[in-house]
Structure formats: structure tokens, C-alpha cells
Chains A and B, each alone.
Chain A
Amino acid sequence: MNTNLHAHMEQTLVRLRESVRATAPILVDFLRDEVEKTGFHDVVFGLSGGIDSALVAYLAVEAFGAERVHPVIMPYRLSSAASLRDAQAITSDLGLKADLVEITPQIDAYFSRDPSASLLRRGNKMARERMSILFDHAAVYRALVLGTSNKTELLLGYGTQFGDLGSAVNALGDLYKSQVRALAEQLGVPAAILHKAPSADLWEEQTDEKELGFTYDEADVLLHHWVDRWLTRAEIEALGFAPELVEGVMRRVRLNHYKRVPPVIAKLSSRTIGIDFLYPRDWGM
């Protein structure tokens, strides 16, 4: 990376991190408001031991108090022991009672009929299994499912449709990864979680950045310029970003847009869901 780009990245990341200084109370109010106006009082979410779900745990406890917050820890046999330990550090720090649901039996049973299944298929299946468990727990606790996907992941499409992308309310969806980290630090998320390499933990030795082929810092700065500041590709490249990186990130955002919208419906009638049947989500709440 050239020196100019390096300095520019640092500067932008500092600004992104500082911008969240006053955000926590708004997110806490947002969670309380959007959950309680539906008539629900409790929330459930998957606690992986990673930074995103850790931040959700701290925000949720502030919004609802520990008794109304129900994290579910759902390890697979290949999940790292550190993840479980980190998840437990969060629950003990916040006084949360977590449910531990191993997903190994059902995942292994399913793939026993197709042992050659790829890592991608396995990872997606696990994500959807966890989603299904969370929504079942939501019925148990009469709770809403909180999402844990941040803006970087949502834009890059680095998540499983109807898996970890499935939730009712998402407090992190407008925060880049670097902002999640800054906010998590501010709210007292344990240092071990703040500083470890982000990983979907779907298989051993997996890290997000290895799989994506670029760093979250690069993605955050690039996406911030493109999405929030409306810079053109040429303007972004002029900052020193390699054209292949710019193309790679933009391509991911474009190709994965389908994950961010409801399924497309063929318009036949005069009023079609998703097209001109226009009601706010908070309709009737």
C-alpha cells in the first residue's frame, strides 16, 4: 500500500470510529422501541463469541435488562474452543443466562448422505440451522430475534441468506465493522473479543479477511466513500486503491444485492406486494 493511501485510510478510519461516540443511546432506544411496539418484551440472538453478537449483547442488556435477553450459543464440533470461551465471558460479564444448543448432530446427520459437500454448503447449512433454532427459541421466550449483521457484511453480502441474515430487528446494520469495533470497545466488550481476527467460525482456521481477500479496514473505507459519500470508481481509485480491489468490492455489493431485498414478485395485479403495496413496516404496531 502506498504511503498516501495508508495515511488516508488511517484518517478515514479515525473519523468512522469517532462518529459512533454518541450512537449507543440511540441504538438502545431503537431496540427498546422497535421490540416493545410489537408487543414483545424479550429478545433472542445467537451469541458466537465474535464482536458483532457481543455488541448486540451489551446493547440488548442496556435496553431490556439481563432477564429479558436470551442469547443462544450454538457451536458445531469444529467451532473453536476460543469462541465458546469468549461467548461465556460475555454472558458472565453481563449476568446473562445463555442456552447452549450443539448443532453437530443434525448437521452431521444431514451431510452423512452427502459426505463430499463443500465447505460453503456446510457453512450455509449451519447458518440456516442456527437461524431456525433462534426462531424456535423466539417462540419459547415469546421474543423477537435480533440480527447481528453489520453494514460491511450486508453490503459485501458476506452472510447466508435466510441464515445469519435472518432477523426481526437489527441494530448494527448501519455500522461498518470498524464502527462496530469502536462501539464495542466503548461499551466494555472484553479485549480478547475486540482484538481477535473476525471469523464466521464455520470451519477451522477460517477468517473473514482470508476468505474475502481484503481487510475489513480496506472494505470499510472503500464502501464509506462509495456508499455514503457517493464517490465514483475513478475518484476512489485516485485515492490509491488498486483497481482490482475496487472492482472486487463493488462486484460483491452488486451481485449480493438480492440478499438485501425481499424475493422479487411477478407483477400481475394492480397492487403487488413489494412493488406498490406500500406500507411502513411499523404498520399497525
Chain B
Amino acid sequence: MQAEALLKQGEAQFRQLADTMPQLVWTADPNGQVDYYNRRHKAYDGIAHMPDGTQQWHPVLHQDDETPTRNAWMHAVRTGEIYTTSSTGLDSPTAATIGT
């Protein structure tokens, strides 16, 4: 029980830290399903919490960037490689995404 409490405390600390960052911060499970965004995601219309607990993020991207970005991300998920991409957001932000 103490371990679980420590884990929860650690997660809370991480979220607090992530929410103070000006960047959009996210985490994903080993399959590439995004399961967390920091508060910054509110600046991007189109990021949505899905009922199954995953996050929808593709509508944020510009139409031309969607496929290349998705491919780069899927490639990273398959190979475990770090990836960097740059894309044009629909509303305003132009984002450089770094996955680890």
C-alpha cells in the first residue's frame, strides 16, 4: 500500500511539473496510445479524451501533416526510436513534437 501511495505521489508531482510547462506534454503506452496530456492541451481544439481512456490528437494537425506525422509516430512505436517532427496546427500552434 505504501508503494502505491508513493507511486501516486510521484505521478501527482509529475503532473504538477508538466502543467507548469509552456509546452504540450504527453505520455503514451507502449502501443502508442496517448494516455495523458498536460493542461496545455486546452489550447488545441481537437484533442479529446475518448471514453476508453485514450486521447484523440490527429484532428489538431493540418491535413497535409496528418499522414507524415502519424507515420513518423507509428514508426517510432514500432522501432522504439526517438522521433522529431514539425507540423502545422489547425488553430494556431505550429508544433515540433519530440517523442522518446
Chains A and B come from one and the same complex: no
Interface residue ranges, B against A (CB under 8 Å)? none
Interface residue ranges, A against B (CB under 8 Å)? none
